[in-house]
Amino acid sequence: MHVRLAGETDLAGFRERARALLAAQVAPDAVQWSTQARSDDLFADAAAPAEAAAAAPAPKVAVPASFLALCESVVLHRDPQRFALLYRLLWRLAHEPQLRHDPLDADMLRARDMAHAVGHDIHKMRAFVRFREVGDGDAAGPLHVAWFEPEHHIVQANAPWFMRRFAQMRWAILTPDRCAQWRPGGALQFSPGVGREQAPPADAGEQLWLTYYRNIFNPARLKLAMMRKEMPRKYWHNLPEAALIAPLAAQARERSGRMIAQPASETARRFTRLPPAVPDAPPTASVQSLQELRQTTQHCRRCPIGACATQAVNGEGPVGAALMVVGEQPGDQEDLQGRPFVGPAGQLFDRALARLALPRESLFVSNAVRHFKFELRGRRRIHKTPGQQEAAACAQWLEQEIALVQPRALVALGATAARSLLGRPVAVTQERGRWLQREDGLPVLVTLHPSALLRMQPGEQPAAFEAFVGDLGVAMDAIGPKTVDRQQELPSS
């Protein structure tokens, strides 16, 4: 049975005939597909037409939506057996329901490869079409003509993209198979293909484009293998800039050789300057209470993070507390609520205090840095470790707090807090659980920050938490009543 379609991309005709053939139970091997555009079919006259099958009412066939989309792409392929392949797949989907779940079926793989090739050709046409201005034009403007040689029957399917992309330009795309024309305010028009001799010659705009291409060519990013992959040589004869690739690549290699031969240059050190302090910021010497300190730090702009945070977060607890615990900086929740240690790390800290039966209200809890330093990832604010300059800018607030609270001992949670309290770098893992001493004589116990425990692997967290509780127990025993099990004296001043 011979089926002749109206054109090379006659998808509607194929669907109508295929449904009729399927209803008549005509097997794929018994059907010969062709198009009116192909005159070299040896069986065109001898084969029996399929009018009888087409005359029957075509029933609806339930196929996956993905198969319809696949057909739209495959019919644009140049393979003359594409319609036979699609009808064979339709027949099998109707008689072999499991086919839709078989990703490795040979027919389905072949159809997908053909669809991929069509999509690749559509992309290349959009990338490598070059318009040239032809003639003086008319009321709609000058005519821009381009020549392109597609691998598949994609012109009519691709023309609407060019219509949207160049909506205000009068243009025509010439190809050996099909030509497309567009006039602003009109409709897309299609005509038979033409020969390459009708392609437009070079114009003044092409010389301007070559000058621009020559000046933006970046030799440092030259990758010839990748360039050939993305811009295959078969397209070069239609691209004016292709003639520049060889000389520009040769110059790039020469320039790279001269750069390598030159001696190394000294890299200048760069220092980040902190913004100047706000002129009307109250002097720290005038702070006489914790409440006044809270109000003063809200105006602090001695480092950049003060301008980005929601508010300054100061310490919390009673004046005269025996133990003062200092962390690194407020987190996301602390920044929003204005209180220290209320986020996930603070909840872990409260669990440790509960294990020791130590009320948090008896401690003074604070941070070395007053503002939350973060970076945005989508809508989330991700914690960033404060730098030394930012911690140094907040050091005066921490010292004012210590002077107002007058604790008997300090606990540094993490390296940033330990450096701010001791004035030197501290290796936390090596010096944790030990009493160190500040220049003013106050003892300092160093341990991990609770957030470090949260970042550990789940299997390591229980043991790390027990060690953290033990460090806090050392500090509690040193300031509280002595027991039989734990006795440790504070270092003498």
| Residue, of 265 and 296, whose pLDDT is higher | 296
Residue 220 has pLDDT above 80, yes or no: no
Q: Return the pLDDT at 254.
A: 76
d(CA 154, CA 167): 20
d(CA 473, CA 352): 9
Q: What is the mean pLDDT of residues 267-285?
A: 52
pTM above 0.85, yes or no: no
Distances (CA, A) of 426 to 347, 418, 422, 429: 25, 6, 8, 9
Contacts 24+ apart (CB under 8 A), 195-203: 196/147, 196/149, 198/147, 198/174, 199/145, 199/147, 199/174, 200/132, 200/134, 200/145, 200/146, 200/147, 201/132, 202/132, 202/240, 203/132, 203/133, 203/134
Q: What is the mean pLDDT of residues 81-92?
A: 94
Q: Which residue has the tokens 């730098």?
A: 387
d(CA 371, CA 334): 9
Q: What is the mean pLDDT of residues 223-239?
A: 74
| Residue 346 near residue 334, CB atoms below 8 Å | yes
For residue 336, count other CB atoms closer than 10 A to its CB.
17
Residue 325 has pLDDT above 90, yes or no: yes
Residue 492 has pLDDT above 50, yes or no: no
Q: Return the pLDDT at 308.
A: 80
Residue 344 has pLDDT above 50, yes or no: yes
Q: What is the mean pLDDT of residues 384-408?
A: 91
Q: Return the pLDDT at 152.
A: 95
Q: Return the pLDDT at 288.
A: 85
% of the chain exceeding 70 in pLDDT: 85
Residue 177 tokens read as: 């198979």
Q: Return the pLDDT at 490.
A: 47
Residue 146 has pLDDT above 80, yes or no: yes
Q: Return the pLDDT at 489.
A: 42
Q: Return the pLDDT at 203.
A: 65
CB neighbour burial string for 113-137, b if at least 16 within 10 angstroms, e if fewer: ebbebbeebbebbeebbbbbbeeee
Q: Return the pLDDT at 157.
A: 94
| Residue 317 near residue 402, CB atoms below 8 Å | no
Residue 374 has pLDDT above 50, yes or no: yes
Q: What is the mean pLDDT of residues 145-174?
A: 93
Instruction: Give the dihedral of Cα atoms 352, 353, 354, 358; nearest 10 deg.
Output: 160
> CATH class for domain 284-479?
alpha beta
Q: Return the pLDDT at 136.
A: 66
Q: Find all residues with CB under 8 Å of 51, minimum gap 6, and list them.
A: none
User: Residue 125 — pLDDT band, cuts 50, 70, 90?
Assistant: very high
| Residue 41 near residue 12, CB atoms below 8 Å | no
Can you give the three-state secondary structure of 8-39, one letter per residue? CCCHHHHHHHHHHHHHCCCCHHHCEEEECCCC
3-state secondary structure of 282: coil
115: nearest Cα among 82, 161, 92? 82
3-state secondary structure of 368: coil
List, in sequence order, the alpha helices (H) in 75-177: 82-95, 106-128, 155-165
Q: How many residues are listed for the chain in this entry?
A: 493
Q: For the chain, what is the mean pLDDT?
A: 83
| Residue, of 381 and 240, whose pLDDT is higher | 381
Residue 487 has pLDDT above 50, yes or no: no
Q: Return the pLDDT at 42.
A: 47
| Residue 306 near residue 312, CB atoms below 8 Å | yes
Residue 291 has pLDDT above 60, yes or no: yes
List, in sequence order, the alpha helices (H) in 132-203: 155-165
For residue 37, count other CB atoms closer than 10 A to its CB.
14
Residue 217 has pLDDT above 80, yes or no: no
Q: Which part of the chain is CATH 3.40.470.10? A: 284-479
Residue 188 tokens read as: 């897309």
Q: What is the pLDDT of residues 358-371, one digit of tens each?
A: 999 999 999 999 99
Residue 396 has pLDDT above 60, yes or no: yes
Q: Return the pLDDT at 171.
A: 93
Residue 66 has pLDDT above 80, yes or no: yes
% of the chain exceeding 90 in pLDDT: 50
Q: Return the pLDDT at 132.
A: 85
